[in-house]
Chain A
Amino acid sequence: MPTTLNPVLRGAGLLWIVADALTTGEVERLRADFPMLSRTVNGHPLVYLDSGATSQKPTRVLDAERAFVERYTAAVNRGAHTLAGEATELFEGARATIAAFVGADADEVVFTSNATEAINLVAYGISNASLGRGGDSASRFRLVAGDELVVTEQEHHSNLVPWQELAFRTGATLRVVGLEDNGTLRIEEAADVIGARTKLVAVTHVSNVLGSISPIEQIVELAHGVGALVLLDACQSAPHLPLNLHELGVDFAAISGHKMLGPTGIGALYGRRELLDALPPFLTGGSMITTVGLQSSDYLPPPARFEAGTQRVSQAIALAEATRYLGEIGMDRIAAHERALGQRLVEGLAPISGVRVLGHAPGTERTGIASFVVDGVHAHDVGQFLDDRGIEVRVGHHCAQPLHRRLGVTASTRASTYFYTTDAEVDAAVAAVADVRAFFGAA
């Protein structure tokens, strides 16, 4: 049996105690579950290296969604007929499955449209608390001028812009923890920035550009030491690494469904129970109330308090199936496989003349993500060249403009893997990148 457990989560700099990576045969068998992976692009077999943007979906997940719609369609958490009961049980069962997958309790998981909405839910909940909503129990969230919110320079726009807006609305100050030239979070700087005025620290678990893993346990320690909350952007970790939110000790976390085999339109917010209990709602309306008067209303406890309106029921059921599928493969083995792929990528890319890999050097911990720039060739042109060979990568700023600015570039090319990615695909991408400069006359 592969060694379990997730030392990734045990803090900075430690190499993972790795489980066995997936074998070539296992990867081939898994690939057969994904219809997309057998298609061609521009006359070549698809080499999909954009799973950091969105993952492909296995038939099993699509089937789960379809089976629900065909057999159980009914409104959930309202109505009293048989179908309403069945649909509600399946929906709440999906919540429990997803919660267990990330090491949380079912009533600590709120369904959202996506991770961006999950983060905005917290930001607006705090905003509403700052306006006095939520009564005494919400006073712990209240922001006034002089309070500070802390983010890092590596954040995805979705974990930056909502905090900018919250600062504008409340008069709080937004402070930023910077990065080293190699993209490493300056943890000493975090220790300086996180202080008595800090109310919340928002940080990504894994950089969506660099694939580097943030020292979350240290950040949690710093934040909790001054009574501040920690919100974790888990979009690039939940699909790729073993994740246990209770062990990690964060207060909130945002998860994206479509990056982990689920459909688009479904994400989740994790919040520690006592925090969700105290947080005022963001979206309001039907299904989140107990008693409604003409002037004011009382609200349900979480998670229902944060799920106003008709929910994404079939999507939630599909996402739960996705987490079961991932669980059966084993997140420790997925992490080991992608760790090897990430190293193979940077070891292939770094020696190519004119290619600069952003972030950590080969041999340093990273997930299956590598972003790079090619001297004399713009990322759009690099991506176009690869696309012509059926290799699909992301080009641009990857929703992380401040990070790119910090590293001195406007745009980069990003290859990102998943457990269905093969060594041969990584090698094909590396070989194509090696031909880019000659094609554009930059060599």
Chain B
Amino acid sequence: MADDGLRDLYQRVILDHARERHGHGIRPGSAASAREVNPTCGDEITLHVYRGDTGSVASIAWEGNGCSISQASASMLSDLIVDLAPDEVDTRIEVFRALMQSKGTMDTEDDAIGDVLEDAVSLAGVSKYVMRIKCAMLPWVALEHACAELAP
């Protein structure tokens, strides 16, 4: 059934995140920010990074419009970024990017991936839809660019 593929892409957890949008709403006091646009659809995200006392990335917040994939991805990313060292943030971005480029071949049952990406593992199905990878990556690229602005 083709519909199964669609349900695999749009898992319940994704639709829930797209609706709940964790981390949505920018607060003052951010250390850096970045704005990313998906030129094919005009979807956009502005993502702010907040620092902790020890130089960690304490949290992120974002605002933007987009499809359920980009909105869910931003929501899941917000859950993931809780008081992480900068290199831990980098690792998560790298693993997520590898997942998106995997064309559905990455073993998402692997705990090593699940521990790093948590709910964002559910976006694995996007990797089979080449036109949608940009949607899922949008907040992660914004985070990457915002972190690059952080003072070392």
A contact set with B: CB distance below 8 Å: 42-44, 377-381, 384-385, 388-389, 395-397, 401, 404, 410-411, 439-441
CB 8 Å contact bits of B62-88 with A (1 = contact, 0 = none): 000111110100000000000000000
A381 pairs with B67, CB closer than 8 A:
yes
CB 8 Å contact bits of B118-144 with A (1 = contact, 0 = none): 000000000001001001000000000
Chain A residues whose C-beta falls within 8 Å of the C-beta of B135 in the assembled complex: 380
**Stretch in contact with the other chain, from B4-12, B96-104, B109-117:** B4-12
Known: A378-B68, A379-B67, A440-B15. A384 touches B42 (CB 8 A): no
Verify if B151 is at the interface (C-beta below 8 Å from A).
no
Chain A residues whose C-beta falls within 8 Å of the C-beta of B69 in the assembled complex: 380-381
Verify if B53 is at the interface (C-beta below 8 Å from A).
no
What are 23 residue pairs bridging A and B, where the CB atoms are less than 8 Å apart in the complex?
A42-B5, A44-B2, A378-B71, A379-B41, A379-B67, A380-B43, A380-B68, A380-B69, A380-B135, A381-B67, A381-B68, A384-B129, A388-B2, A388-B6, A395-B41, A396-B40, A396-B41, A397-B42, A401-B42, A404-B42, A410-B43, A439-B6, A440-B10
- Alpha-carbon distance A44/B66, docked complex (angstroms): 28
Chain B residues whose C-beta falls within 8 Å of the C-beta of A440 in the assembled complex: 10, 15, 68
- Pairs of residues from A and B, 7 with the lowest C-beta to C-beta distance, nearest first: A380-B67, A378-B67, A396-B41, A388-B6, A397-B42, A43-B2, A411-B41
Known: A395-B41, A401-B42. A410 touches B6 (CB 8 A): no
Chain B residues whose C-beta falls within 8 Å of the C-beta of A404 in the assembled complex: 42
- Alpha-carbon distance A385/B65, docked complex (angstroms): 19
B15 pairs with A410, CB closer than 8 A:
no
- Alpha-carbon distance A219/B66, docked complex (angstroms): 37
B67 pairs with A410, CB closer than 8 A:
no
> Which residue of B is nearest A376, CB measured?
B19
> Which residue of B is nearest A389, CB measured?
B2
B65 pairs with A384, CB closer than 8 A:
no
> Which residue of B is nearest A410, CB measured?
B42
B9 pairs with A384, CB closer than 8 A:
yes
Q: How many pairs of A and B residues are in contact by the CB < 8 Å rule?
A: 57
- Alpha-carbon distance A44/B69, docked complex (angstroms): 24
- Alpha-carbon distance A377/B2, docked complex (angstroms): 20
- Alpha-carbon distance A380/B67, docked complex (angstroms): 6
- Alpha-carbon distance A411/B129, docked complex (angstroms): 19
From A389, A395, A410, give the contact of B65 (CB < 8 A).
A410
Chain B residues whose C-beta falls within 8 Å of the C-beta of A385 in the assembled complex: 6
Identify 12 new A-B residue pairs, CB closer than 8 A, beyond the known A380-B135, A388-B5: A377-B68, A379-B67, A384-B9, A388-B3, A396-B42, A397-B41, A401-B42, A410-B41, A410-B65, A411-B43, A439-B6, A440-B15
B68 pairs with A411, CB closer than 8 A:
no
- Alpha-carbon distance A441/B68, docked complex (angstroms): 11
Chain B residues whose C-beta falls within 8 Å of the C-beta of A410 in the assembled complex: 41-43, 65
The minimal Cβ–Cβ distance linking B139 to chain A, given in whole angstroms, is: 15
Chain B residues whose C-beta falls within 8 Å of the C-beta of A42 in the assembled complex: 2, 5
The minimal Cβ–Cβ distance linking A390 to chain B, given in whole angstroms, is: 8
Chain B residues whose C-beta falls within 8 Å of the C-beta of A379 in the assembled complex: 41, 67
> Which residue of B is nearest A378, CB measured?
B67
CB 8 Å contact bits of B1-41 with A (1 = contact, 0 = none): 01101100110000100010000000000000000000011
A411 pairs with B2, CB closer than 8 A:
no
> Which residue of B is nearest A390, CB measured?
B2
Chain B residues whose C-beta falls within 8 Å of the C-beta of A388 in the assembled complex: 2-3, 5-6
- Alpha-carbon distance A440/B11, docked complex (angstroms): 10
Chain B residues whose C-beta falls within 8 Å of the C-beta of A396 in the assembled complex: 40-42
A384 pairs with B41, CB closer than 8 A:
no
The minimal Cβ–Cβ distance linking B69 to chain A, given in whole angstroms, is: 7
> Which residue of A is nearest B12, CB measured?
A441
> Which residue of B is nearest A411, CB measured?
B41
> Which residue of B is nearest A42, CB measured?
B2
- Alpha-carbon distance A362/B138, docked complex (angstroms): 37
- Alpha-carbon distance A297/B67, docked complex (angstroms): 54
